[in-house]
Amino acid sequence: MKKLFFIFHILCFLLLNGFLHAQTMNRYRFEVKEAQYTRLCSTKNILTVNGSFPGPTLYARRGESFIVDVFNQGSYNITIHWHGVKMLRYPWTDGPEYITQCPIPPGGNFSQKVVLSTEEGTLWWHAHSNWTRATVHGAIVIYPFLNMSYPFPKPQAEFPIIIGEWWKVDIQTLYYAFLRTGGDPNTSDALTINGQPGDLYNCSSQDTFKIAVDKGKTYMLRIINVMMQELAFFGVAGHNLTVVGTDAAYTKQFTSSYIAISPGQTMDVLLSANQNPDNYYMAAKVLESTPFIGYDNTTTTAIVQYNGNYTPSVPPPSPASLATMIRMPKPPSQDVCGASRTNLILFHLKSLVPM
């Protein structure tokens, strides 16, 4: 009898604990569904979460878990992947369909639990079926533990900056076309910042993404490259960027006039609004990896707009480094030890020769 009583107590404790835990875990509702979007003067249906492109930003604190109830109202199997979340000891809902979980069929729903541990900074989520992630994606912002601060002064405000691509054709049509031919996918028609191509493209100036800043304040840009396979350069005219984190981990800080960010990567950068009040372009371009492979050579822009009374420059200044952003800068001919790279390679080759 005593034993039964003991087991009953344990069961009650576990149930209550589970109940309390479930109570404190944040829940999000993701309805995966088609929505009509117009870009570059033409309209098409795209797959979205909750009708928005990019999708909603998720917010959490370091070490928290949260649940995303995914309702698949589209016409394809789908799962959502939590890009960069380690999902320690809980891979069962991390999104790669047919690998760690079954896809959610059209009309179905499934609750995906996201288990954060040491991640802190910016990550992102995206659909994990064929090329659906081209439009089904969004940011995950992970703040420090409660009552803990960033390892740098708190910025005045923070902005997710999602660098993506836009095709005028339907994404599934595009996907099956290059699967059929075995060739490269057609290059995109525009690059985008937070879903907007920016005013260097037709029919786009009205909706160009803008951030408002106060002179003298510092802001954090949580930059995510969600492009399918292109490395991007990003810079802000007249301003330096101080990189403080990447892929949800803090880095040794460094300052540069522009950054290069790989597909899938995130970078948290600080932007000090220390220039004359004006409008300034922030811009992204694609790396030309080889002269013989086609790529989208257009430039997406958004605008950093200073608050105050002034006559803004028209057009806004562009990042000076933009013209050189297309190719990777040449590596330095001298390394930190003072030896040239060629000498180092020769030295290492010689070390392979048996003495």
Smallest CA-to-CA distance from 329 within 239, 272, 259, 278 is with 259
C-beta of 39 vs 83, nearer to Cu ion: 83
C-beta of 57 vs 242, nearer to Cu ion: 57
- The CA-atom distances, in angstroms, between 193 and each of 165, 224, 282, 307 are 9, 10, 9, 21
Smallest CA-to-CA distance from 235 within 313, 116, 156, 319 is with 319
* CB of 111 vs Cu ion, minimal distance in Å: 20
* CB of 107 vs Cu ion, minimal distance in Å: 25
* CB of 266 vs Cu ion, minimal distance in Å: 11
C-beta of 72 vs 132, nearer to Cu ion: 132
d(CA 247, CA 332): 26
Q: Which residue is nearest to Cu ion (CB)?
A: 83
Q: Does 137 bind Cu ion (CB under 5 A)?
A: no
C-beta of 161 vs 236, nearer to Cu ion: 161
* CB of 135 vs Cu ion, minimal distance in Å: 14
* CB of 203 vs Cu ion, minimal distance in Å: 31
Q: How many CB atoms lie within 10 A of CB 41?
A: 10
Q: By CB under 5 A, name the one of 74, 77, 83, 267 that touches Cu ion.
A: 83
Smallest CA-to-CA distance from 131 within 263, 290, 293, 298 is with 263
Cβ(227)–Cβ(137) under 8 Å?
A: no
Stretch that binds Cu ion, among 83-91, 115-123, 247-255, 327-335 (CB under 5 A): 83-91
Smallest CA-to-CA distance from 76 within 36, 55, 104 is with 104
* CB of 93 vs Cu ion, minimal distance in Å: 15
Stretch that binds Cu ion, among 37-45, 57-65, 82-90, 280-288 (CB under 5 A): 82-90
d(CA 39, CA 42): 6
> What is the identity of the amino acid at 344?
L
Three-class secondary structure of residue 167 per DSSP: coil
* Total chain residues near Cu ion (CB under 5 A): 1
Cβ(235)–Cβ(322) under 8 Å?
A: yes
C-beta of 83 vs 222, nearer to Cu ion: 83
Using CB under 5 A as the binding rule, the residues of this chain from 60 to 79 that contact Cu ion are none
C-beta of 126 vs 285, nearer to Cu ion: 126
**Where do contacts with Cu ion occur on this chain (CB under 5 A)?**
83
